[in-house]
Amino acid sequence: MNEQLNGTHDAVLNRAVAGTATAAADLLQARARKMAQEKPAAGTDGSTIEVLEFGLADETYALELTYVREVGALVEVTQLPGVPDFVLGITCVHGQIIAVVDLRKLFGLPERGLRDSRQVIVLQSAGWEFGILAERITGVKWLPLAGLQPTLPTLTDVRAAYLSGITPDGTVFLSAGKLLADPRLVVRQEI
């Protein structure tokens, strides 16, 4: 009789656990569907773009997320002779050697020295890739394109060549595609 009660108890417990697991899976699937559909309210034309926001020299920049392969800590950089001063050097990311570009030097921004918390953003498109230095990673967000200013009248330096727009809060939206297409930013070894 005791075995029969234990068997009944186990069967009831197994049905409860299975029901709980099914309910939990259903709840998680519903949450995932909702999150996949959520987008913040966009501008008047309804178009937004997902960007990675990062800080550099007391300014905030954003890059289109589709060009970002990964973000990680910049542990070690080996300097290279004979490259432009905006090429910080090379580093190893998951066993692959990539060049690291310092946008502060490329854009003529003030250099305060690198902090211990420096990051590298690896950009990739059509076989070309390199890293760019970032002092801090702010995060990923949706950027409404309708609110972008095309340019600032006072912005005449090299940043204007890579500029996609400026947000109302002053974030500089850079074209990762233009950065990746610029042959000056690709370090090639030729013998």
How many domains are there within the chain? 2
pLDDT of 10 above 90: no
Looking at the structure, do residues 32 and 91 belong to the same domain, yes or no?
A: no
- For residue 42, the model assigns a pLDDT of 43
- pLDDT category at 17 given cuts 50, 70, 90 is very low
Q: Considering only CA atoms, which of 95, 163, 99 is closest in space to residue 128?
A: 99
Residue 60, judged by CB atoms within 10 A of its CB (0-12, 13-18, 19+), counts as middle
The Cα–Cα gap between 21 and 178 comes to 48
**Token couple for 118:** 């420096």
Which of the two residues, 64 and 116, has the higher pLDDT score? 64
- How far, CA to CA in Å, does 133 sit from each of 26, 29, 32, 79, 151? 42, 37, 33, 14, 23
Tell whether 18 and 52 lie within a shared domain. no
For the entire predicted model, the pTM comes to 0.70
Answer whether residue 1 is part of any domain.
Answer: yes
Contact of 52 with 65, CB cutoff 8 Å: yes
22 in the same domain as 90: no
Phi, psi of 58 (to 5 degrees): 60, 20
The residue range of the domain holding 114 is 48-185
List all residues 6 or more positions away from 113 whose beta carbon is below 8 Å from its beta carbon: none
The per-residue pLDDT for range 73-126, each reduced to its tens digit, is 988 999 989 889 899 999 998 888 999 999 888 888 777 655 555 899 999 988
